[in-house]
A and B are shown apart, each in its own frame.
Chain A
Amino acid sequence: MTASTAAAPIAPATPPEQPDRPPARKRKLTGYWLLLPGMLWLAVFFVIPFYSLVATSLYDRTGSVLQGYDMAWQFSNYWHTLDDYWRPLVRSLWYGGLATLICLALGYVLAYAIAFKSGRWKNLMLVLVIAPFFTSFLVRTLSWKLLLRDDGFIVNALQFVHLLGSDGRLLATPVAVIAGLVYNFLPFMVLPLFASIDKIDHRLIEAASDLYSRPIVGFFKVTWPLSLPGVVSGTLLTFIPAVGDYINAELLGSPKQRMIGNVIQSLFTDANDYPAAGALSMMLMLLILAMVLFYVRRAGTEELL
């Protein structure tokens, strides 16, 4: 057999008249061409802006938008803004983290129910999860403002059972802001969780119970570990937007519940202090990146996408 392979060069096995041979090079280039427009868009309007943000955060703060800024490599911007705004920054992480945990608890119950308990209503329940979120974010948040108002039904009920004092309120408290965050970002938690749980073979859980696990043990030894990829992507997809959000803090909270988003927004649009706003944005981004990396490492699920 090897002899005939050696003979190949004498009688060319791949003669020039092979017009249709798929050219591997051309195929490779097609990939680049398909990718090019979208990648250019992302490069120009996502990557380069990030670079401008870094630059902006190092400008001389004494300039203004109208007169222009000077590049001063002012790393002190970071210290000064951190000094001024560390409270909202910490508060954002705290609110975002707590909201994410509550979302995880609620979302897990819901995702589990849809995946395993809904039977033929699975599709309908999934639609019901997503449907409310096609109504404007702001309009929904305004509804919560109405629901949580001081003489509203919820506050009255809580006062009646003495969970709130007679002059207690929900609006303009951390409770309202966190509740708003939970509500608004819940689908970001439910959908990845559902995708993960739905993939779990139900027979594995039966096998666990066959092997002497009570349901609760079976859950923690089988279901939960297998759903971890969904838990990881769900918590990230919830935490990241929740930390950066300022709509809930603005509509449901008071200045005491200002989050970092409120600060950045007002530094840009009201105070026109671009360097400070840029520095805060950068810090938020780096903080989130660091936390995400740490979290993904610990959770051990590298195949996030």
Chain B
Amino acid sequence: MSPLQRMGRWVGQHLVLMGGLLVIVYMFVPIFVVVLMSFNKPKSKLIYRFDSFTLQNWLHPCTDQSMCSALSRSIQIGLLATVVATVLGTLMAFALVRHRFEGRAVANLLVFLPMASPEIVMGSSLLALFVAAGFGGQLGFWTILIAHIMFCLSFVVVTVRARLAGLDNNLEQAAMDLYATEAQTFRRVTLPLVFPGILGAALLSFSLSFDDFIITNLNAGNTTTFPMYVWGVAQRGVPMQVNVVGTVMFLVSIAIVVGAELNRRRQEKALA
């Protein structure tokens, strides 16, 4: 077999893998731009392209005060929504997996529907409710928070439920058999085993909340979150600090995932 044939064969065998890698590269193209632009010193505010290198954006991220206040508001809302949605959603997941009662089908449907509704519909119906209930003038932090908890809830339920359903029932029975009371069983066996699912759900909630624009925009009144800030400046000229935030978000999420994976491997290695 000639080297050329051999190469052709190799390519043939790895065609799918190469295709997959190309798709991943495609997914990273805009990220590359975001990182690059975070070091950009633009000549003009209106033309959005790379002109020259600078560290200024990283050193002075809050040149535009309104961006940083929008950012901190988004983080506050994200954290609050995450806590509430994770707690409520985890309780629901336990109820749905561990308890038999009438009306489970209705509950499951109600959990599923928000995920199957377009954001624009959820956002506009919430707005309709707030206006009808006379809160049309008080749209802001709290209405955003309410909306975020609502759409995060379903994702938490689904994530935790999957983890719980995959849990071997025998483990809890084994704990009870080994003299653990119900409370001890929950603390020593159930919780540690479900915890990765809950943590994953919390991370998902935070990123959903932090990133939401469509529902937020309809129910925010005059309050500005980070995505709304970006939306606003997209028309007027984007400060490069926006890309700094984008880069940091990317790095933090990578750090969390890699950290979790390393931690898992380290544990496995230490035990091997």
Instruction: Please report A residues at the B interface, Cβ cutoff 8 Å.
Output: 27-28, 30-32, 34-35, 37-39, 41-43, 45-50, 52-53, 55-56, 65, 106-107, 109-110, 112-114, 116-118, 123, 125, 127-147, 149, 152, 183, 186, 236-237, 240-241, 243-247, 251, 260-261, 264-265, 268-269, 274, 277-278, 281-282, 284-285, 288, 292, 304-305
Known contacts A45-B126, A117-B17, A268-B124; is-contact A110 B101 (Cβ 8 Å): no
- Do A131 and B230 contact each other (CB < 8 Å), given the known contacts A117-B14, A284-B118? no
- Selected contact of B214 from candidates A118, A145, A246, CB within 8 Å: A246
From A131, which residue of chain B is reached at the shortest CB distance?
B254
Summarize A's interface: helix, strand, loop or mixed: helix
B195-224 residues with Cβ-Cβ distance < 8 A to A are: 207, 210-211, 213-214, 217-218
For this complex, into which size category does the number of interface residues on chain B fall? 35 or more
Q: Which secondary structure dominates where chain B touches chain A?
A: helix
- Judging by beta carbons under 8 Å apart, are B136 and A65 in contact? yes
Residues of B within 8 A of A (CB): 14, 16-17, 19-21, 23-24, 26-31, 33-34, 37, 48-49, 88-89, 91-92, 94-96, 98-101, 107-108, 110-122, 124-129, 131-132, 136, 146-147, 149-150, 153-154, 157-158, 207, 210-211, 213-214, 217-218, 226-227, 230-231, 234, 238, 242-243, 245-247, 249-250, 252-254, 257-258, 261
The minimal Cβ–Cβ distance linking B131 to chain A, given in whole angstroms, is 6
* Given A53-B125, A240-B116, A42:B16 Cβ within 8 A: no
Contact A147 B92 (CB under 8 A): no
Residues of A contacting B119 in the complex (Cβ-Cβ under 8 angstroms): 241, 244-245
Which A residues are CB-close (under 8 A) to B230? 136, 138-139, 142
Q: List 6 A-B contacts (CB under 8 A).
A: A32-B101, A56-B128, A109-B16, A113-B21, A132-B250, A136-B227
A residues within 8 A CB of B261? Answer: 123, 127
Residue from the list A35, A50, A133 in contact with B125, Cβ < 8 A: A50
Give the A-B pair count, Cβ closer than 8 A.
263
- When the two chains form their complex, are residues A52 and B129 in contact, meaning their CB atoms are under 8 A apart? yes
Which residue of A38, A140, A245 contacts B34 across the interface (Cβ within 8 Å)? A140
Whether the Cβ atoms of B249 and A35 lie closer than 8 Å is: no
- Which residue of B21, B24, B113, B120 is within 8 Å of A246 (Cβ)? B120
Tell me the complex Cα distance, A34–B91, Å: 5
Closest residue of chain A to B18 (Cβ to Cβ) is A113
Query: Which of A35, A152, A269 has the most C-beta atoms of chain B within 10 angstroms of its own C-beta?
Result: A35
